[in-house]
Structure 1
Amino acid sequence: MPFRQLSSDHIVQTLERLGARTRDRFPAASFNNVVVELIDLAKRDRRRSQRLARPYLFLRAGIILAILLALAGLAYVGERVFNWAQDTGATADVFTIFEGVEAGLNIVILAAVAIFTLTRVEERLKRSLALDDLHELRSIAHVIDMHQLTKDPTALLRLGPRTTASPERAMSEFELGRYLDYCAEALSLAGKIAALYAQSSRDPVVIASVNDIETLTSNMSAKIWQKINIVRDAAPGEVETPAE
């Protein structure tokens, strides 16, 4: 099903092409370092998301063994109590029987809680690893947004004089449009890296975190495209050139 799932290899390849484009167009820009970091995260998260999709066989075997040992222990205790009652010929009234039943139920409930907790160990471990990686993707999305923050297209209109604190704006209309477009692409690809975890997991907490990152990157991209539209309106003939 090649067209029903995201391909992590294609995401990495697209990021590497984006990195080559940014280096060719802006060789001295620090944004190149951000793209390189995003490529490294994509390669690492590709391996981790694939690993999270596979069962932890050794962990599951250990959990099954622990459950079997717990059940064997309960059976052993029950058998010893039953044998003791037969050997001593102990008789019990109604209250003693109820006390014994209550104690037995408490043991069964505690054992069930312990078994349920053990069965959730794998899910919690995978969730912790996924959330750590998603947190890094959320952080790098903000870093990408910071790199486009001072790229103000209204400066192209030269509506007022510069101040001593004004950032250096040496880009042409075309270069500014390409730089903003690269930032938008990087944000979109960061969202796709996060989507690999939702594709590999059924954990509602992980899926909710992925949705938050996709919403974040989409909102940031929307702001960038507002800037791109301003650049196009300022110099439509130059910026609309379909160059990379």
Structure 2
Amino acid sequence: MKKASKFRTLDPALIRASLDQLARRIDERFPGAGLANVCRDLLALAKETAIAAQEINRPHFFLRFIIWLAITAGVALLIVVAQLILGGTKANDDLFGTLQGIDSGFNIVVLMGATLFFVSSLEARWKQRKALFALHEFRSIIHVIDMHQLTKDPSMLAAVHTSSSPERSLSPFELVRYLDYCSEMLSLTAKLAALYAEKLSDPVVVDTVGDLERLTSDLSGKIWQKITIVQSLEGRDIPLPSAGQLIGSQTV
């Protein structure tokens, strides 16, 4: 069997490395910013996700054994019931008794079939539930990231502040960097969620991951609209970092 190329699958270690670097970049650019704490929480979640996605992908042998026993017992019971019905039908010479026996047998077969299907899908539903519970955390952290960029309004750069206005102490350049960090964090969150779709081909899980990817894409689009507004307002006059900043934080 041909081994899958490493460029065709997501590497959890590389995602964690990107998040770790992003957290350090935010800390260096904006010391004490809450956004860095969110990034560190996302990094911790990334470590949990790498383990959880691998565990979900593994076969649950104990559960499979229980399912196999239940199916075997169900089939054996079905055979016994069928023999009893056939024996009763043969003993009955009248047509009404024969039809009644066939109808009872059909109902039992349908009921047993539904039961066997329910039992056989236990492992898949157990994995689906675990994945959906984990994906709910990603949806929450996506909205937390969005909350951090809500008050970063570029149209208020030159506005007169009131006593109730949110604190805005960022220069145009810093505002662009802050918004860019939010967008990058949203993208990495979507990549982490995609690990579950990669490991588990359950249609409900895949659809949920797709919803999260669309959500992060839409929010990133709004963020980049803000960045475009800042650039259009400032033109080429956006203050660039000093030479000392460039030397001290080349990766920021």
TM-score (normalised: structure 2): 0.87
Alpha-carbon shift at residue 91 of structure 1 (Å):
4.3
* Match for residue 15 of structure 1 among 2, 14, 19: 19
Cα distance in 2, alignment partners of residues 168 and 108 from structure 1: 69
Distance, in Å, in 1 between the alignment partners of 2:142 and 2:222 is 13
Which stretches of structure 1, 4 residues or more, deviate above 3 A after TM superposition? 76-86, 235-243
Q: Could you list the runs of 5+ residues in structure 2 that have no partner in the other structure?
A: none
Tell me the amino acid that sits aligned with residue 211 of structure 1: G
For 1:154, give the aligned amino acid: S
Q: How many residues align?
A: 239
Kept in 2, the 8 Å contact 1:127–1:206? The answer is yes
- Contact 2:67–2:119, Cα closer than 8 Å, also in 1: yes
Q: Report whether the alignment pairs 1:202 with 2:207.
A: no
Amino acid at match of 2:170: M
Matched residue, 2:105: 104
Task: Give the root-mean-square deviation of aligned CA atoms.
Answer: 2.1
% same residue: 45
> Could you tell me how far 1:81 is from its partner in structure 2?
6.1
Contact 2:89/2:101 (8 A) holds in 1: no
Q: Which runs of 5+ in 1 are unaligned?
A: none
Letter in 1 for 2:184: E
1:173-188 counterparts in 2 under 5 A?
A: 173-188=172-187
Name the amino acid aligned to 2:214: T
Aligned-pair distance for 1:73? 2.1
1:139 to 2:140 alignment = yes
CA distance 1:91–1:226, change in 2 (3 Å): closer
Q: Is the 8 A contact 2:135 2:193 kept in 1?
A: yes
Structure 1 CA distance, aligned partners of 2:89 and 2:182? 77
Partner in structure 1 of residue 116 of structure 2: 115
Q: Is the 8 A contact 1:134 1:210 kept in 2?
A: yes
Letter in 2 for 1:33: N
After TM superposition, give the deviation of residue 147 of structure 1 in Å.
Answer: 0.4
Letter in 2 for 1:184: S
1:98-121 C-alpha deviation (Å, 9 max, x unpaired): 111111121111111100011111
Shift of 1:143: 0.6
Q: Which one-letter code corresponds to 1:45 in the other structure?
A: T
What letter corresponds to residue 60 of structure 1 in structure 2?
A: R
How far is the alpha carbon of 1:78 from its aligned partner? 4.2
1:36 equivalent to 2:40? Answer yes
Partners of 1:178 and 1:33 in 2: how far apart?
Answer: 17
Q: For residue 166 of structure 1, what is the aligned residue in structure 2?
A: 165
Kindly indicate whether the alpha-carbon contact (under 8 Å) linking 1:174 and 1:239 is maintained by their aligned counterparts in 2. Answer: yes
Go from structure 1 to structure 2 and tell me whether the alpha carbon gap of 1:239 and 1:197 turns closer, same or farther (over 3 Å shift): farther
Q: Deviations over 1:119-162 (max 9, x none)?
A: 11112111111111111111111110110111122233x1x422
The aligned amino acid for 1:69 is A
1:128 corresponds to which letter in structure 2? R
Q: Which moved more, 1:169-178 or 1:213-222?
A: 169-178
CA offsets, 1:189-234, max 9 Å, x none?
1111111111112211111111111111011111111111222331
CA distance in 2, matches of 1:109, 1:81: 15
State how far apart, in whole Å, the 1-side matches of 2:87 and 2:228 are: 85
TM-score by length of 1: 0.90
Partner residue in 1 for 2:223: 224
CA distance 1:170–1:183, shift in 2 (3 Å): same
Aligned with residue 27 of structure 1, among 26, 31, 34: 31
What amino acid sits opposite 1:119 in the alignment?
S
Q: Given the alignment, which residue of 1, 6, 15 partners 1:2? A: 6
Aligned to 2:53: 49
Q: Is the 8 A contact 2:89 2:97 kept in 1?
A: no
Q: Residue 92 of structure 1: CA displacement?
A: 2.2
Task: Verify the 8 A CA contact 2:146 2:219 in the aligned structure 1.
Answer: yes
Q: Is the 8 A contact 2:16 2:47 kept in 1?
A: yes
